[in-house]
Amino acid sequence: MSGNRPSLTVYAAEKLLVPFLLVVCLSFTETAWSQNYQNNINAASGWLASTSNPRVTLADGALVDGANSTRIMPYFSNLGVMGFTKNSTYYPNVKNWMEWYWNRVSWPDKWGIYGSINNFDVSSTGAETPVPDPDAQGNHNPDSTDSYAGTFLSLAYAYYNTGDSAARSYITSIQPPNSNRLDYVGEVVVHTKQSNGNNLTWARPDYNIEYLMDNCEAYRGLRDLASLYTAYGLSTQASFYTTHADQMLNGIQTALWNSANNDYYWYTTDSGSSGTVNWNVWYPDAVSQIFPIAFGVIQPTDQRAINIWNTFQSHWKNQWTSLSTGDQYPWIIVGYVAALMGDTTDANTFINNLQTTFVNNNFVGDANHFWSTNEAGYFIRLNAQMLGSGSSGPVTHVTISTPTDGATVTAPVAVQASATSTNGVSGWHIYDENSNIVFSAGAVSSINASLNFGIGTHRLLVRAWDNISGFGDQTINITVTSGPPPPAVPLSNHVYVVVLENHSYSSVIGSSSMPFLNNNANAYSLATNYYADTHPSIGNYFEMTTGQIITNNDSYTTTVTADNIVRHLAAAGKTWKEYSESIPSVGYTGGDSTSGGGPYTEHHNPLSYLSDVRGSSQANNLVPFTQLQMDINAGTLPNFGFIVPNNNDNAHDGTLNAADTWLQNNIFSKLLNSAPFQAGGDGLLFVVFDESDSADTVNGGGHVAAVLIGPKVKNGFQSTTLYKHESLLRTVNESLGLANFGDAVNAPDMAEFFK
């Protein structure tokens, strides 16, 4: 929720969202903890359903915003009632609330919207009247339209996902063709979505602020409504809301993303002003940053999520776990995100403090800690997650088939696991005993990982995520006795990298638009778990050549002095060339140009920025692409070549099919027919995409295709190991006998691809 607020404290309460939290507590046995969680669920459910002393639920099904309160705030109530979806005893309360909500929607409201809802005051006689907008204190009611509607839609989906026959019968009755109730509420969000290009929602139709927190909630509501309609086979409605959800997702990931600081703006406006985050300010700055993780805008496996969580922890770890942020509300959403990120130690400390302060005090709290309806709802969901049913639907189950718990094995260790979830599987992590992520995978139902561990005992936690941010775990302990030495990257005097643009792995691999690239991927080696580092392009090009992102500004023109591959090639006496299609002239280090016969793009040519190149004789190695064929014919190919098609041929402006044809005509039929790529040769070719589409931010820049080709490359090989551009750089360095630098130092090499 957002908009004109009576105070930051009131808004903090309204934004308090406490999804389900997994906690592993070593001070209890598993059985004792399970009973403890069930006791918490029962206690909080009873508090929410209480009709007197404290009075939270009213006779007509409404829930006030706190114990004995005289205010009904539907946003709070939506979040509180979500807790009832985790306790079958109270399923009827969900229907009662949803009926109350629908019978109180505006028809229309002051902006002409049908389906929005106001806050209500409850008199001493029980009469319920809409709160004036603005009220006597000048506060607006409702505080927002987007969050009220979004959380109601998510509640409907959660109620459906209980699987209860009465619940599903009710949801069936309020959707097409029986009713348009949910469509009206969905249209409230759509109505406040802006058509100015960013597709974000205003807090209210008359309040031009696009809050990060609100947009995450509204996005989740639209996505959940689309999922609900999909479950019922209502394809037209599902497609409509999927489109709007996709647009909002892109808006959050672009208009609200501060690429200069690698975090989110906490708000933006149509006029272009934005709220830069001050990490030392708890609300609204710091807490806003975790909402994209909590609401599935970004997955916990995403590098963007990892970076944000690490930054958040560096500023607030001690305060949020001990309920001492200075805010009277505990903001349990932080604990939820901790659990999602695998930080169960801090999450455990947090839940113990919640029990001491609230549960053991009949949810009264104390002078510095306040409890409310939304807190109770998410506290129930938190404990349900502890018991293994915290996602909005059946739990995700993980089964490790190999190795077995307690097994003695040799390295590399083969880990095979599968997962089942009615919400689908969206991704995987394997953690070691130090909570390091040693393996990641995407939306597949099973994994087969090959992991190198040192001799000794190791604890592995295998986690699968579902599509609504729930997850399942299984843990095993293994003893590694020995293993073969890790493979080495073979030396080569002919290493070449071709970079294409801006397409996801799924749009390339298996696509009929790129038959030639797919043929080579099948014949040689494919990295199936390869990710770009960032968005937009420029940072990825620098990562491949300097081992650093350097910048995320595609308009960057500054000379780069960082350590780089040209510096190491020159020191080793190796030759190199950057073959740039449509470069205006040999040695050109200027900006974008079309004078070379096509669209030359400066930020796709990273070597032209380097201080080792600009103003030196090394600039003569920046050559037109036509020079490649001349070097092939003359037998003078350099030791290293960075090959850059222009924007018509790299799939940036042109089609994938055009890029594939260009590869076939210029690389596969020519470079691969040169002497280094014949039997017994040492040629090595990488074909890689710089980044995925902008909406895909998993691990920073999204899932992309990377193909390795050459006489020493394995045939028909596919790797599931997680790699990024720094691994490509490390492999290039090692194949050329160069020292590693930048991020390549700690990145895994790609030695497994070689015979």
DSSP string, 374-412: HHHHHHHHHHHHHTT--SSSSPPEEEEEESPTT-EEESS
CA 3 – CA 6 distance, rounded (Å): 10
Q: Is residue 489 domain-resident?
A: no
State the pLDDT at residue 138: 76
In which band, very low, low, confident or very high, does the pLDDT at 670 lie, cut at 50, 70 and 90?
very high
Tell me the C-alpha distance between 172 and 189, whole Å. Answer: 21
- 553 and 674 in a single domain? The answer is yes
Q: Are residues 136 and 82 in the same domain?
A: yes
Alpha carbon separation from 303 to 135, 262, 296, 507, 532 (Å, rounded)? 44, 11, 14, 21, 10
The single-letter DSSP state of residue 601 is -
Q: Are residues 212 and 266 in the same domain?
A: yes
State mean pLDDT over 414-426: 85
Residue 392 maps to a domain: no
Question: Given pLDDT bands bounded at 50, 70 and 90, which one contains residue 78?
Answer: very high
Task: Tell whether the model's pLDDT for residue 746 goes beyond 50.
Answer: yes
Question: In this structure, is residue 710 part of a structural domain?
Answer: yes
Name the band, by pLDDT with cuts 50, 70 and 90, for residue 63. very high
Tell me the pTM.
Answer: 0.56
Which residues span the domain enclosing 663?
A: 494-753
Q: Name the DSSP letter for residue 333.
A: H
pLDDT above 70 covers a percentage of the chain that reads 92
Instruction: Evaluate if residue 25 carries a pLDDT over 80.
Output: no
Q: How many CA atoms lie within 13 A of 123 on its CB side?
A: 5
| CATH for 450 | 2.60.40.10
Q: Give tens-digit pLDDT for 324-377.
A: 999 999 898 888 887 778 777 787 788 889 889 999 988 988 888 999 999 898
Residue (of 133, 702, 158, 9) closest to 468 by Cα position? 158
Q: Residues 304-314: what's their mean pLDDT? A: 90
* Cα 667-673-679 angle, rounded to 5 deg: 130
What is the average pLDDT across 234-263? 91
Task: Classify residue 3: in a domain, yes or no.
Answer: no
Q: Are residues 351 and 409 in the same domain?
A: no
Check whether 76 has a pLDDT greater than 90: yes
Residue 22 has pLDDT above 80, yes or no: no
Q: pLDDT at position 436, please?
A: 61
Q: Which domain-ending residue is among 430, 457, 482? A: 482
Confidence check: pLDDT of 427 > 50: yes
Query: pLDDT (tens digit, 9 = 90+) per residue, 489-499?
Result: 999 999 999 99
Q: If we measure between CA atoms, which residue out of 668, 655, 587 comes closest to residue 623? A: 587
pLDDT of residue 337: 84
Q: Which class for 420: exposed (0-12), middle (13-18), buried (19 or more C-beta within 10 A)? A: middle
Helix (H) or strand (E) holding 735: helix 725-736
Q: Same domain, yes or no, for 463 and 326? A: no
pLDDT of residue 334: 87
Residue type, 632: I
Percent of the chain that is helix, strand, coil (3-state, to 5)? 40, 20, 45
pLDDT at site 468: 59
292: pLDDT strictly greater than 60? yes
SS3 173: helix
Within 337-412, strands assigned E span: 397-402, 408-410
Copy the structure tokens of residue 218: 């509204």
Q: Considering only 122-131, 382-391, 450-459, which range has the smallest mean pLDDT?
A: 382-391
Residue 218 pLDDT more than 80?
yes
Burial class (CB within 10 angstroms; exposed 0-12, middle 13-18, buried 19+) of 705 = buried
Handedness of CA 621, 622, 624, 628 (dihedral sign): positive
Residue 328: burial class (beta carbons within 10 Å; 0-12, 13-18, 19+): middle
Over residues 80-88, mean pLDDT: 92
Give dist(CA 383, CA 438) in Å, integer: 28
Do 573 and 538 have their domain in common? yes
pLDDT score of 504: 93
Residue 9's pLDDT is what? 29
* Strand, coil or helix: 50: coil
**Average confidence (pLDDT) over 251-265:** 92
| pLDDT surpasses 60 at 4 | no
How is the beta sheet containing 128-130 ordered, strand by strand?
71-72, 120-122, 128-130
The C-alpha atoms of residue 373 and residue 123 are separated, in whole angstroms, by 19
Residues 457 and 311 in one domain: no
- Mean pLDDT (whole number) for 684-691: 97
473 with 580, same domain?
no
Instruction: Report d(CA 630, CA 269) in Å as an integer.
Output: 53
Q: Which of 325-334, 594-603, 700-709 has the highest mean pLDDT?
A: 700-709
Per-residue pLDDT, 161: 85
Same domain assignment for residues 663 and 708? yes
Q: Using CA atoms, how far apart are residues 186 and 379, in angstroms rounded to an integer?
A: 27
Please determine, for residue 26, whether its predicted confidence score (pLDDT) is greater than 60: no
The whole-number pLDDT of residue 391 equals 41
pLDDT of res. 306:
85
Please report the pLDDT score of residue 14 as a whole number: 36
Neighbours of 539 (CB within 10 A): 28
- Asked if residue 173 is part of any domain, the answer here is yes
Same domain, 647 and 691: yes
Distance CA 309, CA 330 (A): 18
Q: Which of 360, 386, 412 is the last residue of a domain?
A: 386
- Out of 386, 408, 438, a domain closes at 386
CA separation for the pair 561, 510 (Å, rounded): 40
412 and 382 in a common domain? no
Decide if pLDDT at 567 tops 50: yes
Residue 178 has a pLDDT of 92
**584 is a domain residue:** yes
Confidence of residue 196 (pLDDT cuts 50, 70, 90): low
- Mean pLDDT, to the nearest integer, of 649-660? 94
Q: Which of 66-75, 115-124, 387-396, 515-524 has the lowest mean pLDDT?
A: 387-396
Across 688-700, average pLDDT: 90
Q: What pLDDT band is residue 168 in, cutting at 50, 70 and 90?
A: very high
Instruction: Please check whether residues 287 and 341 belong to one and the same domain.
Output: yes
Rounded Cα gap, residues 691 and 719, in angstroms: 19
Tokens describing residue 457: 């005992």
**Predicted pLDDT of residue 359:** 92
Q: Residue 10: which pLDDT band, with cuts at 50, 70 and 90? A: very low
CATH assignment at residue 507: 3.40.720.10
- φ, ψ (nearest 5 deg) of residue 694: -65, -25
Domain presence at residue 487: no
The pLDDT value recorded for residue 143 is 80
The count of other CB atoms within 10 Å of the CB of residue 30 is 9
Residue 523: CB atoms within 10 Å: 13
- How high is the pLDDT of residue 277? 95
Residue 606 backbone dihedrals phi, psi, to 5 degrees: -65, -30
pLDDT band at 394 (very low <50, low <70, confident <90, very high): very low
> Which residue intervals of 27-180 are DSSP H helices?
30-49, 74-84, 91-103, 146-160, 165-173
Give the least confident one: 417-431, 440-454, 465-479: 465-479
CA 348 to mean position of chain CA atoms = 24
Give residue 392's pLDDT: 40
The CATH number of residue 56's host domain is 1.50.10.20
pLDDT at 590 over 50: yes
- Position 488 in a domain: no
Mean pLDDT of the chain: 87
pLDDT digits 0-9 by tens, 103-116? 999 988 888 889 99
Give pLDDT, residue 438.
76
What's the total number of domains in the chain? Answer: 3
